[in-house]
Amino acid sequence: MGKNNQQSARETKREAEDRIKEIKNGLFASCSFTSLGLDPKLSDQLKERMGFEAPTLVQAQSIPVILSGRDVLVNAATGTGKTIAYLAPLIHHLQGYSPKVDRSHGTYALVIVPTRELCLQVYETLEKLLHRFHWIVPGYVMGGEKKAKEKARLRKGISILIATPGRLLDHLKNTASFVHKNLRWVIFDEADCILELGYGKEIEQIIELLGSGQGEKDDSVPKGVQKQNLLLSATLNDKVNHLAKLSLDDPVMIGLDNSKVQPNLSLEAPDSDTDDLVIHVNKSANPLSEDYGIPSQLVQKYVKVPCGARLVALLSVLKNLFEREASQKVVVFFSTRAAVDFHYSLLSEFQWPPKSETQEEEETTKQLFLNCKTFRLHGSMEQDDRKSAFGTFKAEKQALLLSTDVAARGLDFPKVRCIIQYDCPGEATEYVHRVGRTARIGEKGEALLFLQPVEIDYLKDLKKHGATLTEYPLLKVLDKFPLPANMPRIKKVISLESHPWVITLQRALESFTYAEPTMKNLAKNAFVSWVRGYAAHKGELKSIFVVKKLHLGHVAKSFALREQPSLVGKSHQKETMKRKRDERSKGLQSKKTKKMNSNRNVQKT
């Protein structure tokens, strides 16, 4: 590199660093945790144990209001510190109780989250925060754990309980020793997601069983000690209206424009004396793009790839990323569990250069195509494997995580530099949460969305929600890879599929898949589930993601298959036969229920 080039590279780096500094400055409030009203011991804990020098803006806005006892609806970008914003005020109150909080008092606060991983994450944060307040006991209950053990823990008493909705409802109905008569706080973290995952009915029952609905407050009790409910997400939208209506009483809205609040909802700005408590985030101080909160330092790109070259493009992008910077973490999102399994096995075993070219060479010269540790995460893994993948990926410095949307919400993996959405996320809210796994708390981050040429209109949908993406220079990246010696040099590549690197890698991938029956089966299952998932896009997106527009032979290529497998796999046949048998015995099911069942078969998370 020439002197001038070196100097301009240094300047660009400095500029980027200055920008990040600027963003970080805009993300934090210029006050202390104590000045927000938190107990000095708790503020010290935040500083010394957690390393938090100052509150973030959303914390500075939320903490005093939550401390005041008002119900609150918080809408703030991903990675801006919402967890502390609600946990700190609870701990502040509980540590000051006299007589002291005791296990025998049962549960005082309940945090409801949509996924098991988020449940564990919030629990871990809570444990750290409670280090100095050992008499306040944290705990969690969630699907996949042994119920008997949870019952025993509940019997002993848990002061602050983190829970997923299904398991919580189960305990509320069946665990007599679960004491919640002192319950004061119910918090819905990722509120919109809880509803999107279909937990609406469970939540209604939970609110009823707990007596935490908005109509059930006792007006004679002062605000500071009566029941208080909080709802939080980066993408609060009209779907949350029902839950808000059900659970929030005269709430303060933080980070919500009036335009986002539905007129038919009982969430009008509180009248007269409480008017001053309605807070609107000052967008110039808060580094968010308009609409859904996307961190402004996030570099958002899309890559346009025809279906038949998708797999090669993914592997090439990943190789380029890890060769550019070995020490980094990347998350790739897929639409189905089977797709995660296939790509995980492929990346864990596929070697490069491929066998045929190195037959004469020593075994040791071959290595994995991607030189990094690879993990997977999805909903049908064993609970222990899920925990271990989540925990290890979190701790690694250089690693790749392949996941379904189970990792899209709330998870805080430190130092993730790039998010790749290999399969489209569906609604823009999901796009926002997936990309939100990077660029957290003012850090740098990149996001790359894979689109087929027929799907390009999806960009317009994202733009409507404030996400503007620029094109990723795929051809330039492909040109960087050394061509195999036996390939003719082509001066001008006409299409991506005719690129010699794409041809060679695709052939090698197909040979690899066909060499192992297990691998081929994984590919076939992934193909079938992917096509079904594609057909399950909802609403307006149905006109963008149209199965009929797909060339299924090319889709097969994207799973390293030479020909298109039958879309009716054996397991699907078995399921269909079983369903028909059940239907015959139960009488005819309604058309609607059948449709719901077939959608469930896609196993998206």
In the bound state with ligand ATP, the residue whose beta carbon lies nearer, of 39 and 455, is: 39
In the bound state with ligand ATP, the residue whose beta carbon lies nearer, of 80 and 452, is: 80
CB of 435 to ligand ATP, least distance (A): 10
Binding flag, residue 52, ligand ATP (CB under 6 A): yes
Identified binder of ligand ATP from the candidate list 45, 69, 79, 526, rule CB under 6 A: 79
CB of 258 to ligand ATP, least distance (A): 22
Binding flag, residue 61, ligand ATP (CB under 6 A): no
By rule CB under 6 A, what string of x and - marks binding of each residue 189-228 to ligand ATP?
----------------------------------------
141: helix, coil or strand? strand
Q: What distance, in Å, lies between the first and last C-alpha atoms of the chain?
A: 46
Stretch that binds ligand ATP, among 202-210, 343-351, 434-442, 541-549 (CB under 6 A): 434-442
Identified binder of ligand ATP from the candidate list 106, 436, 445, 533, rule CB under 6 A: 436
Rounded CA-CA distance 66/229 in Å is 9
In the bound state with ligand ATP, the residue whose beta carbon lies nearer, of 417 and 554, is: 417
Question: What is the per-residue burial (b if ≥16 Cβ within 10 Å, else e) of 496-513?
Answer: bbebbbbebbbebbbebb
In the bound state with ligand ATP, the residue whose beta carbon lies nearer, of 341 and 412, is: 412
Q: CB–CB of 428/462 below 8 Å? A: yes
Identified binder of ligand ATP from the candidate list 150, 202, 249, 412, rule CB under 6 A: 412
Identified binder of ligand ATP from the candidate list 84, 321, 467, 474, rule CB under 6 A: 84
Element (H, E) at 420: strand 416-421
Binding flag, residue 441, ligand ATP (CB under 6 A): yes
In the bound state with ligand ATP, the residue whose beta carbon lies nearer, of 72 and 474, is: 72
Which residues, numbered 496-555, are part of the site for ligand ATP (CB under 6 A)? none
Give the number of residues in contact with ligand ATP, rule: CB under 6 A: 17
Binding flag, residue 82, ligand ATP (CB under 6 A): yes
C-alpha atoms less than 13 angstroms from C-alpha of 530 in its C-beta half-sphere: 29
CB of 414 to ligand ATP, least distance (A): 6
Q: Match 């780096």 to its residue by tokens.
A: 13
Identified binder of ligand ATP from the candidate list 83, 115, 345, 513, rule CB under 6 A: 83
Q: Match 């509803």 to its residue by tokens.
A: 195
Question: In sequence order, what are the residues at sequence separation of 6 or more whose Cβ sits closer than 8 angstroms to the Cβ of residue 377?
Answer: 117, 340, 386, 389, 390, 393, 401, 402, 403, 404, 406, 407
CB of 305 to ligand ATP, least distance (A): 28
Identified binder of ligand ATP from the candidate list 116, 440, 465, 557, rule CB under 6 A: 440
Rounded CA-CA distance 439/466 in Å is 16
143: helix, coil or strand? coil
Which residues, numbered 323-352, are part of the site for ligand ATP (CB under 6 A)? none
In the bound state with ligand ATP, the residue whose beta carbon lies nearer, of 80 and 335, is: 80
Question: In sequence order, what are the residues at sequence separation of 6 or more whose Cβ sits closer than 8 angstroms to the Cβ of residue 302?
Answer: 448, 449, 450, 451, 459, 469, 470, 471, 472
DSSP letter at 37 equals: T
Q: CB–CB of 330/402 below 8 Å? A: no
Q: Return the beta strands (E) in 336-415 as ranges.
A: 351-352, 367-368, 373-377, 399-403
Binding flag, residue 20, ligand ATP (CB under 6 A): no
Please choose, from the candidates 520, 522, 524, the residue with its C-alpha nearest in 3D space to the C-alpha of residue 512.
520
Q: Match 């082509």 to its residue by tokens.
A: 490
Identified binder of ligand ATP from the candidate list 43, 45, 56, 335, rule CB under 6 A: 56
Rounded CA-CA distance 170/205 in Å is 11
Binding flag, residue 150, ligand ATP (CB under 6 A): no
In the bound state with ligand ATP, the residue whose beta carbon lies nearer, of 287 and 410, is: 410
Stretch that binds ligand ATP, among 72-80, 167-175, 360-368, 475-483 (CB under 6 A): 72-80
Stretch that binds ligand ATP, among 75-83, 265-273, 448-456, 496-504 (CB under 6 A): 75-83
Identified binder of ligand ATP from the candidate list 43, 45, 75, 80, rule CB under 6 A: 80
Which residues, numbered 227-266, are part of the site for ligand ATP (CB under 6 A)? 234
Q: CB–CB of 35/29 below 8 Å? A: no
Rounded CA-CA distance 574/402 in Å is 29
Binding flag, residue 55, ligand ATP (CB under 6 A): yes
Stretch that binds ligand ATP, among 78-86, 139-147, 396-404, 532-540 (CB under 6 A): 78-86
Binding flag, residue 445, ligand ATP (CB under 6 A): no
State the DSSP string of 531-570. HHHHHT--GGGGGTS-GGGS-HHHHHHTTT-SSPPPSS-H
Rounded CA-CA distance 270/73 in Å is 13
301: helix, coil or strand? strand
Q: CB–CB of 58/76 below 8 Å? A: yes
CB of 192 to ligand ATP, least distance (A): 11
CB of 62 to ligand ATP, least distance (A): 11
Identified binder of ligand ATP from the candidate list 45, 62, 75, 78, rule CB under 6 A: 78
The residues pairing with 375 across neighbouring beta strands, listed in sequence order, are: 401
Stretch that binds ligand ATP, among 51-59, 63-71, 143-151, 385-393 (CB under 6 A): 51-59
DSSP letter at 275 equals: G
457: helix, coil or strand? coil
Binding flag, residue 297, ligand ATP (CB under 6 A): no
Stretch that binds ligand ATP, among 53-61, 171-179, 252-260, 499-507 (CB under 6 A): 53-61
CB of 376 to ligand ATP, least distance (A): 21
The maximal CA–CA distance of the chain, rounded, in angstroms, is: 86
Q: Which residues bind ligand ATP (CB under 6 A)?
A: 52, 55-56, 59, 78-84, 234, 410, 412, 436, 440-441
